[in-house]
Chains A and B, each alone.
Chain A
Amino acid sequence: MSIKVEVCQLDDLVPYSGCCALVEGQQVALFRVDEGETVYAIGNYDPIGDANVLSRGLLAEVNGVITVASPLYKQHYCLTTGQCLDTENVRVPAYAVSVEDGAVYVSIPQADDKAKAA
């Protein structure tokens, strides 16, 4: 089971850029990719650079896929799947996001879910 957590207001997010939220102890990178309500969320940890920085990367479209380019070494991560486009076996978590009445919600797996999966 995952739980849905309200993290901020849509207006707090600057269009075409990212920021980081702390959700259930996890660092989640949020990206508002237009001036409307399209928001994506993936893990903030950059496994290649070993630092919590993905929310500070640039949004980049690569062959039609919306990605963020890591600010450290520029690998691209798909915002819907968390897959790294440059290195096959690297992937970061991707989270479902919804915007309701101007608030942004992120759905995040609960601790006991993770335990089961492990």
Chain B
Amino acid sequence: MSKQQLVVIGNGMVGHNFLTKIVEAGGLDQYEITTFCEEPRAAYDRVHLSEYFGGRSADDLSMVEGDFFNDNGITLHLNDRAVRIDRENKIVHSSQGLALQYDKVVLATGSYPFVPPVPGHDREHCLVYRTIEDLEAIMASGQQSKVGAVVGGGLLGLEAANALKQMGLETHVVEFAPRLMMVQVDEGGGALLRRKIEDLGVSVHTSKNTQNIGDGERCRHKMEFADGEVLETDLILFSAGIRPRDDIAREAGLKVGERGGIEIDNCCVTSDDDIYAIGECALWDQRIFGLVAPGYQMAQVAVDQLLGKSESVFTGADMSTKLKLMGVDVASIGDAHGNTPGALTYEFSDGPNQIYKRIVISEDSKKLLGAVLVGDASDYGNLLQVYLNGIDLPEHPDGLILPQRDGASSAAIGVDALPETAQICSCHAVSKGDIAAAIDGGACCMGDVKEATKAATGCGGCAALTKQVLDAELMQRGVEVNTDICDHFPYTRQDLYNLVRVGEIKSFQELLDKHGKGHGCEICKPAVANILASCWNEHILQPMNVGLQDTNDIYLGNMQKDGTYSIVPRVAGGEITPEKLIVLGEVAKEYGLYTKITGGQRVDLFGARLEQLPEIWRKLVDAGFETGHAYGKSVRTVKSCVGSTWCRYGVDDSVGLAIDIEHRYKGLRSPHKLKFAVSGCTRECAEAQSKDIGVIATENGWNLYVCGNGGMKPRHADLFASDLDRKTLVQYIDRILMFYIRTADRLQRTSVWMDNLKGGLDYLREVIIEDKLGIGQELEEEMAHVISTYECEWKAAIEDPEKVKRFRSFINSEAQDENILFVEERDQIRPATPEEKIELKQSA
């Protein structure tokens, strides 16, 4: 049977989500798919569009995974708008002149920003906020402007105002209605929101009806309002609502709503059985859904319907929202305004802390109908579940929003009360049952759950709730969510760190006596050794520390499968002189060591016996080498690219910076190993975005990336801050590393730490850049201590006869271990296999 032709018009968030879903559902067997994308690039994450201002690139925002289109044989026409649907002949015509025969069409054309037809609205520097191109235009205009005004004080308008503010413009918000965020919050909430936003230095003008835009005197434009007042501004950003893009449907004679929107039924089918509409262009039950989650639900329904699953229907979607606008938490649920007849309300307002909360409940006080939260939205997850699942309210519903004091248990309804069907993550439609299933499938931490279900990987708003469900489900399965590090200490690694730091504890025995029990084990000993080193930086082979070190630390080298060791001298930034290279070669030759260039831009020498280590290191230290800490949970390498000194594209000296950074942090012990890289330009030859700390040169300074990882589960680093000068860069890295050392779990790489950090990247920025916890200076001082007490562990070891004594195969003999045997391969040694060993022993 030949495949049916499916044409998807619009490759925005919902259109693309439709494509990924139909691919996942195996729909490619039935359909050959073509998609028209009017924009110059395939789908990207519009929800996080504002981060483009913060330095996220178009690539970062892209929603297209790998070579999605090619891999799945989907034809993508970029820069090509579908202009007409000829329903009679079943042909879609495009602006570039294509005419495609179709069996089915899916309209996912989204919406466009509404610009009120005020005279002067089309002057230059009057812009909108919807696409990457719009943002580029805003950035360009911002550079030539001092004052900016946003028309519209809704959700998007405030986001746009924040962007203007960040560009350093004097920022105004002009709202037609008497308060901000009319749709979501009530009067009390609106008033508080206004105060908070004004505190941030944004001027708010409500009840302002713009009548004309003309030439200004001080600024480019003058806005004239109906009440006679005026506002001068250089840039105007319209954010006065959205309108569905239904033109193509309208012209094809499909049914559209009175105020726009392509009418669909519960199956997402338009008035033509072969044409579907999903996302913001669709009108369901006379409603448009201006959020992405309902669009994704429609995409699922359309996929199901196209694949013959007729029972799948769209039955409306919840429009509750939670967001952070200019650092202010705002949330609204259901009937926030109390419009339901007979509805009762409770309000709580905390003036000094600028918190406002309100719940709307049913006449019989049984059900929650809606809520508004401003200033503190931590109750959102809970309230939303109570609302969505129709859970009966407790006797005193006000307990749901009143602050809990004196350790009283919260009146919050526990996640256990939620039904299996409760939707926890609306971005990816993940229910409590889905999370439970993932746990049954082996997931046991947030990272696993995210990977298995995608929960908390969209807007992130459900992260806290997802974690609660995870913990509760684990608990129910008898998995005691025990965070103790091991049987010997009833504490987490973070607790132990604080005990050591605050109690100035200097040895494992002291910590065990004061806070633990028994004798310790292979889990707590290295962890404590590592904490002691992070805090006090004493030599790890001090007699009191010797017994604590893991396999590799105890002999300052990585143990190989046959019990020999590897030797990795530090080659800061990967830069090495010919003289030093020769030394490495000579030493390797003298001791017959296997030699390899590592993935970390340095040289590894393998196959040294325990008793050879001090001699070999003495030679290396004499030649100016230091330990490379390849064995430690500590700073490994700072990779560099050749940078501006040689490379024709380099914009700054990446090698110099890499060397400085490596010398600054070498020797620092941390919960897990740390890798860095510095690239000289965005071509990124040093792969900095896969490192714990990555730095990339820009025209204006350095971009800092954090929490990247290669290894078992790769993670791209997040852009933490842009265009930093060297001093600030180093200050941030100092703080981030020490904060990580304070708060991470045992053997937790920065990537996993970040994925589990409550509040994520934003929170980390608050702690590091804004110094929200007031610990910035402390962290820097702690780092300064580590840096000032650095010594090469190998140098110190070979200078101390007591330490050298331990590097012997036998305490009572100079003999060698007869079980270490090598054979030759490609002109170098390698450990003999068991069979080869037998042969070698027999022939000896």
Residue positions of A touching B, CB distance < 8 A:
7-8, 12-17, 19-23, 27, 30, 33, 45, 49-53, 56-64, 66, 69, 71-72, 74
Contacts and interface: CB of A to CB of B under 8 A. Distances in A.
Interface stretch (B223-231, B519-527, B710-718): B519-527
A22 to B, nearest CB: 4
A71 B810 contact: no
Contacts, number: 97
26 contacts: A7-B811, A8-B811, A14-B543, A14-B547, A14-B806, A17-B547, A17-B554, A20-B809, A22-B810, A22-B812, A51-B819, A52-B563, A53-B559, A56-B555, A58-B521, A58-B526, A58-B547, A58-B551, A58-B554, A59-B519, A59-B520, A61-B487, A71-B550, A71-B551, A72-B551, A72-B561
Nearest to A63: B487
Contacts of A60: 520-523, 525
A51 B810 contact: no
Contacts of A69: 521-522
B134 interface: no
A52 B815 CA distance: 13
Contact of A51 (B526, B562, B808, B812): B562
For the complex of A and B, the 7 pairs showing the least CB-CB separation, nearest first, are A16-B547, A60-B521, A71-B551, A51-B563, A69-B522, A17-B547, A61-B519
A50 B821 CA distance: 12
Given A27-B817, A52-B817, A61 B561 contact: no
A72 B834 contact: no
A36 B525 CA distance: 20
A7 B812 CA distance: 6
Interface of B: 487-488, 518-523, 525-526, 543, 546-551, 554-555, 559, 561-563, 805-806, 808-813, 815, 817, 819, 834
A50 B834 CA distance: 8
A84 to B, nearest CB: 14
Contacts of B562: 51
B812 A21 contact: yes
Given A19-B806, A59-B519, A61-B488, A71 B559 contact: yes
B526 to A, nearest CB: 7
B62 to A, nearest CB: 42
A56 B519 contact: no
B812 A8 contact: yes
A66 B546 CA distance: 18
Contacts of B549: 58
B559 A72 contact: yes
A16 B810 CA distance: 18
Contacts of A13: 811
Contact of B525 (A14, A58, A71): A58
B819 A21 contact: no
A11 to B, nearest CB: 11
A42 B184 CA distance: 72
Contact of B519 (A14, A45, A66, A72): A66
Contact of B547 (A20, A59, A62): A59
A48 to B, nearest CB: 11
A22 B543 contact: no
Contact of B550 (A21, A49, A58, A61): A58
Given A14-B543, A45-B819, A61-B488, 19 more contacts: A14-B546, A17-B547, A17-B554, A19-B808, A19-B811, A21-B812, A50-B834, A51-B562, A51-B563, A53-B559, A58-B522, A58-B548, A58-B549, A59-B520, A60-B520, A60-B523, A61-B518, A62-B521, A71-B559
A56 B817 contact: no
Contact of A74 (B522, B547, B815): B522
B328 to A, nearest CB: 50
A99 to B, nearest CB: 14
Nearest to A53: B563
Nearest to A32: B547
A20 B546 contact: no
Contacts of B812: 7-8, 21-23
A77 B547 CA distance: 17
Contacts of B808: 19
A113 to B, nearest CB: 22
Contacts of B543: 14-15
A58 B563 CA distance: 15
A12 B547 contact: no
